[in-house]
């Protein structure tokens, strides 16, 4: 029975007819529930698909008869021939291509076991694959083969590699084919047909000549897109820009070959007749035959008497030429430094290094993918891969610095570093991991060393407790609490202080010189307005425009900070009977702190410059301010000394704190206590009155450890408790 208000319908006729039921079910499946024509502004039901149910989703909307349009790049607008012609006509474009090819060619490579596999470096397959790729096509070596591959990538993005087999159907060579002759065919879904169906055709003399399956030919565009099987090369990306550059170069060439504008004209009396002008012109030209081109000979015209008028030639190169060079270089991730006016040297070098890394990495990864595909599919080696050497760092000098840092921090051993350089290993300690500190080499502890250190620390605490008077608490009476001694008087601290002071002084000297040069080069001469607010705004604008790139070199003090912090950490652990427990915590702190210090010094220096410039503009002009910069406090030895005092104290305090953290990780119950000195400030006195606190807690002023302020000579000590 139908519910109240409902309607009862007899469906027995539909149930008795299966075809009617099927159609009703099909209609119900397609209808979007809740969408009604009578709804206000209804979206209505979608149009039913007209394609048969057997049609699969297509990769893109390809033209009907796509595979019959076998001429490569049909319908793409720009033929392969156009791209090739552009790449061989535009000087800047060709130089960019050759530069990238040179950079890739010089990179070293290797065949190695995949990470996580059990394969060893002496696996005979590694040598077999290395020998194969030394001459991939059995004609050219790796460098020549790679350059040809990259040429097709940069110009056409249609790299095509034919897998030539030997008589036993084994891969014999990888022969490069001209990518402009390859036409990728598609299946009914718009994707590459799988073998044994043909996937590519080589078009020779305008007709399909050879079919290739996907197993026979590698067609590897790097810039893959969904709407076409073809790639999108860097040359095609800047096609319009390259066209303009070629036409500008042609125009500039005609200046020297077909120009007709003289450098100037002589005005002669207007009473002369044409024959007199012609005779005098011939006489003048005869005096300069062999010296000047015809277009550069001065002309004589009637007009002003006894006068010469210079004709100004248009510039042959302007900012637009630089813009074209920038666009082309950007397409190849190359710095445009060779084609544009130079910025400061530091900025140019940074841009060059960034472009080198950012531009090469994707190409390296793409080439690696092609080689790994061959290793995997054609040699069946799933546990072996192709790898570039020095992938992370291109510059050998920087790579050596990184290797040195890793060695100092215990990331690699000495023999591992020598192995990377192809040198024979050292006997003895060459395989021992350790840290390089100011006190020398400190070996990282083994499990036996850690166990022995724990036993030694327990014995030390027991001895301390046994030596305490009966009426005293052992921990409070005896721990490792000491009388105050100036932490900055230790030899390691004095050495670090001297190194930091000298480094900062040298950086300030260079920065002062460059800041003064920048001020002199600014087009803001004349005295400032009398109004104080306007003067401050002008000073702020000038200071904000100054490049303080030299101050980045302050980070070089991280080495001195690292040495001192590690030395203090080692001394703190030694006092607790813990030997060989130093880890990389101090080094990590030093590197991070030095980077933060660069930002702090840069910001504070800029603030000081604003004040100096504002005060100077009240008395003189910007050139006068530039002359005063060398003596300004912002770049003075006094400020360098203050920074050295403060940073030495920071390294000392953090080194001691890291030592306490290591001791706590080893199970020692330890606290810290602030020791002030005679004449200490109220802030430090309050910290000292707090007594022993947990090592992860902060003192009353919010400090985790010393110093509390610049030129603070307080220290913290460790207090061991049972």
Each residue of 213-256: pLDDT tens digit? Answer: 999 999 999 999 989 999 999 999 999 999 898 888 887 787 77
Q: Which of 46-50, 229-233, 463-467 has the lowest mean pLDDT?
A: 463-467
Q: Of 600, 507, 599, give the one whose Cα is nearest residue 554.
A: 507
Q: Label the pairing between strands 171-177 and 160-165.
A: antiparallel
Q: Rounded CA gap, 717 and 704, in Å?
A: 13
How does pLDDT run across 616-638, given as a tens digit for each residue? 777 767 777 777 887 888 888 89
Confidence class for position 607, pLDDT limits 50, 70, 90:
confident
pLDDT confidence of residue 609: 84
pLDDT confidence of residue 709: 85
Instruction: Domain count for the chain, please give it.
Output: 1
In a domain, 523, yes or no: yes
- What integer is the mean pLDDT of 142-171? 95
Task: Decide if 625 contacts 612 (C-beta within 8 A).
Answer: yes
Question: What percentage of the chain reaches a pLDDT higher than 90?
Answer: 27
How does pLDDT run across 406-463, given as a tens digit for each residue? 777 777 888 888 877 777 787 766 777 776 655 456 666 666 655 655 554 455 445 4
Q: Rounded CA gap, 143 and 149, in Å?
A: 10
Q: Which of 61-75, 91-105, 130-144 has the lowest mean pLDDT?
A: 61-75
Q: Rounded CA gap, 305 and 302, in Å?
A: 8
- Can you tell me which residue has the tokens 């606190």? 693
CB count within 10 Å of CB 286 equals 8
pLDDT confidence of residue 465: 47
In a domain, 10, yes or no: no
- What integer is the mean pLDDT of 276-305? 65
In a domain, 638, yes or no: yes
- What integer is the mean pLDDT of 281-295? 63
Q: Rounded CA gap, 150 and 105, in Å?
A: 10
Q: Report in angstroms the alpha-carbon separations of 551 from 275, 379, 608.
A: 73, 54, 14
Q: Label the pairing between strands 307-310 and 264-269.
A: antiparallel
Task: Decide if 186 contacts 201 (C-beta within 8 A).
Answer: no
pLDDT confidence of residue 584: 56
In a domain, 174, yes or no: no
Total number of residues shown for the chain: 722
- What integer is the mean pLDDT of 579-597? 69
Asked if residue 314 has pLDDT above 70, the reply is no
Segment 468-477 long-range contacts (CB within 8 Å, at least 24 positions apart): 474/722, 475/669, 475/719, 475/720, 475/721, 475/722, 476/721
**Helical spans, DSSP H, in 287-395:** 319-331, 345-377
Q: Which residues pair with 175 in a beta bridge?
A: 162
- What integer is the mean pLDDT of 34-47? 88
DSSP label at 225?
A: B
CB count within 10 Å of CB 32 equals 10
In a domain, 571, yes or no: yes
Buried b (16+ CB within 10 A) or exposed e, 398-427: eeeeebebebbbbbbbbbbbeeeeeeeeee
Asked if residue 292 has pLDDT above 70, the reply is no
pLDDT confidence of residue 322: 86
Q: Rounded CA gap, 481 and 575, in Å?
A: 11
**Structure-block tokens of residue 645:** 């005092």
pLDDT confidence of residue 553: 85
Q: For the chain, give the mean pLDDT.
A: 79
Q: Rounded CA gap, 175 and 172, in Å?
A: 9
Asked if residue 539 has pLDDT above 90, the reply is no
In a domain, 360, yes or no: no
Angle at which helix 239-257 crosses helix 80-89, to 10 degrees, equals 50
Confidence class for position 152, pLDDT limits 50, 70, 90:
very high
- What integer is the mean pLDDT of 503-517? 85
Q: Rounded CA gap, 578 and 571, in Å?
A: 9
Q: Rank 44-53, 368-377, 386-395 by mean pLDDT and report only the highest.
A: 368-377
pLDDT confidence of residue 453: 52
- Measured at the CA of 481, the angle between CA 478 and CA 484, to 5 degrees, comes to 140
pLDDT confidence of residue 267: 74
**Structure-block tokens of residue 161:** 């590699």
Asked if residue 208 has pLDDT above 80, the reply is yes
Q: Report in angstroms the alpha-carbon separations of 34 from 28, 31, 359, 639.
A: 12, 9, 53, 76
**Structure-block tokens of residue 365:** 């990864």
Residues in CB range of 10: below 8 A, 6 or more apart:
none
Q: Which of 41-45, 189-193, 234-238, 651-655 has the lowest mean pLDDT?
A: 651-655
Write the burial class of residue 631 (CB in 10 Å: 0-12 exposed, 13-18 middle, 19+ buried). exposed
- What integer is the mean pLDDT of 478-491? 62
In a domain, 602, yes or no: yes
pLDDT confidence of residue 475: 40
In a domain, 226, yes or no: no
Domain limits at 593?
A: 486-667
């Amino acid at each position: 029975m139908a519910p109240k208000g409902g309607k009862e319908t007899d469906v027995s006729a539909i149930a008795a007819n299966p075809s009617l039921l099927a159609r009703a079910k099909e209609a119900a499946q397609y209808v979007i529930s809740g969408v009604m024509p009578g709804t206000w502004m209804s979206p209505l039901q979608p149009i039913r698909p007209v394609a048969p149910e057997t049609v699969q989703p297509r990769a893109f909307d390809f033209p009907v008869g796509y595979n019959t349009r076998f001429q490569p790049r049909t319908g793409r607008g720009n033929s392969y021939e156009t791209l090739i012609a552009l790449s061989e006509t535009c000087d800047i474009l060709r130089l960019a291509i050759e530069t990238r090819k040179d950079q890739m060619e010089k990179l070293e490579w290797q065949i190695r076991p995949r990470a996580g596999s059990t394969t060893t470096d002496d696996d005979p397959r590694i040598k077999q694959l290395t020998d194969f790729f030394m001459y991939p096509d059995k004609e050219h070596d790796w460098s020549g083969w790679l350059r040809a591959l990259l040429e097709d990538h940069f110009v056409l993005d249609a790299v095509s590699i034919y897998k030539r087999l030997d008589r036993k159907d084994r891969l014999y060579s990888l022969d490069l084919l001209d990518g402009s002759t390859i036409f990728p065919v598609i299946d009914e879904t718009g994707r590459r047909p799988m073998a044994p169906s043909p996937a590519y055709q080589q078009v020779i003399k305008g007709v399909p000549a050879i079919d290739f399956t996907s197993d026979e030919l590698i067609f590897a565009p790097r810039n893959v897109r969904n709407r076409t099987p073809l790639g999108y090369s860097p040359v095609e990306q800047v096609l319009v820009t390259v066209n303009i550059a070629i036409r500008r170069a042609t125009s500039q060439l005609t200046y020297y070959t077909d120009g007709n504008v003289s450098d100037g004209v002589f005005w002669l009396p207007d009473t002369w007749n044409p024959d007199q002008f012609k005779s005098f012109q011939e006489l003048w030209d005869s005096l300069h035959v062999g010296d000047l081109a015809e277009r550069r000979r001065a002309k004589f015209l009637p007009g002003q008497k006894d006068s010469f008028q210079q004709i100004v030639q248009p510039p042959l190169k302007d900012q637009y030429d630089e813009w074209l060079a920038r666009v082309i270089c950007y397409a190849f991730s190359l710095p445009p430094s060779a084609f544009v006016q130079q910025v400061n040297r530091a900025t140019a070098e940074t841009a060059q290094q960034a472009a080198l890394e950012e531009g090469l990495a994707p190409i390296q990864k793409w080439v690696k993918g092609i080689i790994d595909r061959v290793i995997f599919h054609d040699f069946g080696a799933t546990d072996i891969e192709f790898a570039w050497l020095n992938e992370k760092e291109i510059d050998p000098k920087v790579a050596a610095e990184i290797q040195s840092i890793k060695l100092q921090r215990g990331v690699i051993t000495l023999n591992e570093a020598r192995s990377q350089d192809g040198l024979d290993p050292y006997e003895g300690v060459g395989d021992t991991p350790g840290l390089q500190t100011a006190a020398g080499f400190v070996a990282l502890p083994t499990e036996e060393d850690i166990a022995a250190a724990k036993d030694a620390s327990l014995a030390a605490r027991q001895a301390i407790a046994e030596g305490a008077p009966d009426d005293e608490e052992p921990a409070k009476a005896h721990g490792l609490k000491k009388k105050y001694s100036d932490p900055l008087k230790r030899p390691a601290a004095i050495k670090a202080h001297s190194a930091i002071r000298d480094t900062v002084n040298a950086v300030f000297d260079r920065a002062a010189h460059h800041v003064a040069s920048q001020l002199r080069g600014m087009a803001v001469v004349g005295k400032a307005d009398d109004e104080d607010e306007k003067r401050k705004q002008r000073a702020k604008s000038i200071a904000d425009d100054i490049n303080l790139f030299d101050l980045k070199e302050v980070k070089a003090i991280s080495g001195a900070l690292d040495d001192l912090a590690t030395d203090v950490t080692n001394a703190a652990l030694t006092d607790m009977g813990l030997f060989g427990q130093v880890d990389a915590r101090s080094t990590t702190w030093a590197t991070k702190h030095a980077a933060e210090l660069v930002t702090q010094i840069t910001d504070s220096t800029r603030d000081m410059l604003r004040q100096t410039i504002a005060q100077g503009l009240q008395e003189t002009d910007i050139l006068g301010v530039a002359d005063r910069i060398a003596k300004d406090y912002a770049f003075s030895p006094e400020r360098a000394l203050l920074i050295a005092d403060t940073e030495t104290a920071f390294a000392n305090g953090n080194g001691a704190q890291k030592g306490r953290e290591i001791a706590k990780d080893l199970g020692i119950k330890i606290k810290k206590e602030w020791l002030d000195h005679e004449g200490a400030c109220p802030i430090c006195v309050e910290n000292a009155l707090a007594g022993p606190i947990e090592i992860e807690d902060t003192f009353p002023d919010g400090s985790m450890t010393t110093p509390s302020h610049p030129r603070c000579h307080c220290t913290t000590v460790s207090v061991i408790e049972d």
